Chain A
Amino acid sequence: MAERTKDAFNNSARRRLAVAAALAVGVATTPTEGMQTEYQASLLAPKAATPANLHQRPETLQTLAAMQPPVILREIWAEKGLSGEKFDAAFAALGDGQQQKLAQRSAAMFEQQGFADVMLKLAEGKQAKLSTVIERMAEMPAGMQIITTDYTRIAKEQNDAVWLEFQERAEPAFYRHLAATQEKELRAAGLCDYALDCMRRGLGPTNKEGISYNVDIDHLVERGGGGAMSTEKAVDPVHGGAPMYLVNHVSNLCLIMRDVHTQTKNVINNQQGLGDIAVGETKRICMAVPTDENRLMMLQKEELRAGMQPPPETSYFALGPSLLITRDLERLMRDNIAPPEEHARVFFEVQIEPTFNHTLKLWQALVASLDHGIENGTVKPADIKRTRDNCDGYLKPLEKAMADANMPKEAVDSLRDISNRIYAHLTPAGDNKSAAPKAQNKQEKRNDARA
């Protein structure tokens, strides 16, 4: 069956048909006029759960999208005029699983007014920016969508006034509103009794020691670029009370995982150069926002309750001590004052071992985390790249400096063992073939459970 499917898609005529069908069905289901106005207007309406079938893709499209091999992605975008070396390079940097996800999401993206123009504009700039945006769109967690909207930059003083109002009034009111209306969902997401009590008092959720949870409040329409929403005030229909800037109303706020906020939404925004837009100027941008049913809260329980194992990006914590030991040993070698072989062990025990043991523990935790992540399919290509860079830049130089300075063999071997284990996970073939597809399977399971 798999072979037959592959053969079918190797036939260019059928591939073109699939592309056309994917795009045509998408266009037919949603109007394209006035999307920006519609989005901003929809935020000012009271939040209500969206009927489950309102934005559902027709079954045929879902089936088609699921069948599309990665090659289709390039053709879907080319069909909309988005082709050329830069797009090819951006797509080539994606793993198979990411390409598949983006292909599935493309029809909905192209429904957004001006989406193709936004991407073309982005392609006029640096390759890295285009590639990053495309990568984050592919990696975007379930429960988010890409929309296009107008970003109208407000003056610095106005932005400051909106932020002060947010901190002093809107944020406490939003936390109180969530605690009053979403207690069950907040508990299900893993927040403790103390955290809910904090929210009832208008404070961000912490545990009883005062340690924060991994959540942020996101302004759906950006505070600094909301145009009239950032300058006009009205009474918030949810809170009542004195008028507040529209951008600070409950309808424009969402409790979101901090990582999703910083690594998906902010990254996509910032690659589009929002900081360079002049005050009063308007630019059409694309933005990652929660889907309608997640507009009040978008928490992923498994990420909020991240296991005690540090995630792969925490290899950072091992870098400092590694660098310190490496530099010390290199200085000894360079100044020709390294201890002779017969005194090397004593030198190690007195001078190096305490920091070394700490460093070793951190690298061991990293390997355990990597094993755990790969087993569960939660390791992202970006984590793999970062881990490889950190190994190349810090672990291997430490191993070499230790060997060059005649440090005890068992210490050098313990480092080598760790680097071998890490590199075994980081072979080029492993980037996409082991980690990404498993992650995708996990996402599929999550989607199935929701359905």
Chain B
Amino acid sequence: MPAPDTAKTDAALSAIQNADAKSYMRPGANDLVFRVCNSLLDEHGYPQLPEDFEALLRHACGIMGPYFTILSTGGMEMAGGALQPGILEVSESFNQWADDDAPKTLVLGKMSGGVVITHQNGQYHIVDETSRDVFRSYDSIADFIIDTIARLDKARRQNA
């Protein structure tokens, strides 16, 4: 995995801020947060957070938007007080039906319609949670964010 591209992360954050619809970004995480999260992931048999994902989380440790949710290292409070579980809990839920000896898949985000954002073999994958079909893949989380916002903003304008 190449070192995170700062300019790309900035472009992704800018895309979120300039999107047609508002997103909520939590405050950024620090080293201690990543130490805790990676310890927990390790304890449960997961790989560590990808470097470019950590770079994004340093700016916003969890993003809730109309097109996708970027999960946080912990829980995120939702409107009304319910909680969106964090990376480990969502990943555990995703992996609970997998074969016992299969490597565990890290789930880092969600989209509407029962689709999740996973990270495996150095790439981010958009996966149908039920059928496990992989719809598309990206080299970085920033690529995913920029592409998704551009696609759905365009669709919104066409359908308005």
List the interface of chain A (C-beta within 8 A of B).
Answer: 153, 156, 159-160, 163, 166-169, 171-173, 190, 192, 195, 198, 201-207, 209-214, 216-219, 222-225, 258-259, 261-262, 266, 269-271, 273-275, 303-308, 310-311, 313-314, 316-317, 319-321, 323-324, 327, 355
Contacts and interface: CB of A to CB of B under 8 A. Distances in A.
Interface residues of B, number: 52
A171 B66 CA distance: 11
A319 B40 contact: yes
B128 interface: yes
Contact of B111 (A167, A258, A275, A311): A167
A239 B114 CA distance: 23
Interface of B: 21-24, 32, 35-37, 39-40, 43, 64-67, 69, 73-75, 77-86, 88-89, 93, 97, 111-115, 128-136, 151-152, 155-156, 159
Contact of B78 (A168, A211, A313): A211
Contacts of A195: 79
17 contacts: A153-B131, A171-B113, A202-B156, A204-B112, A211-B79, A213-B79, A213-B80, A213-B82, A222-B130, A224-B133, A225-B131, A270-B97, A274-B131, A275-B97, A320-B73, A323-B40, A323-B43
B39 A324 contact: yes
B156 A172 contact: yes
A160 B133 contact: yes
A222 B113 CA distance: 10
B79 A269 contact: no
Contact of B75 (A159, A160, A204, A310): A310
B38 to A, nearest CB: 9
Contact of A270 (B64, B83, B130, B156): B130
Contacts of A262: 93
Contacts of A163: 113, 115, 128, 135
Contacts of A205: 79
Contacts of B69: 212
A304 B79 CA distance: 8
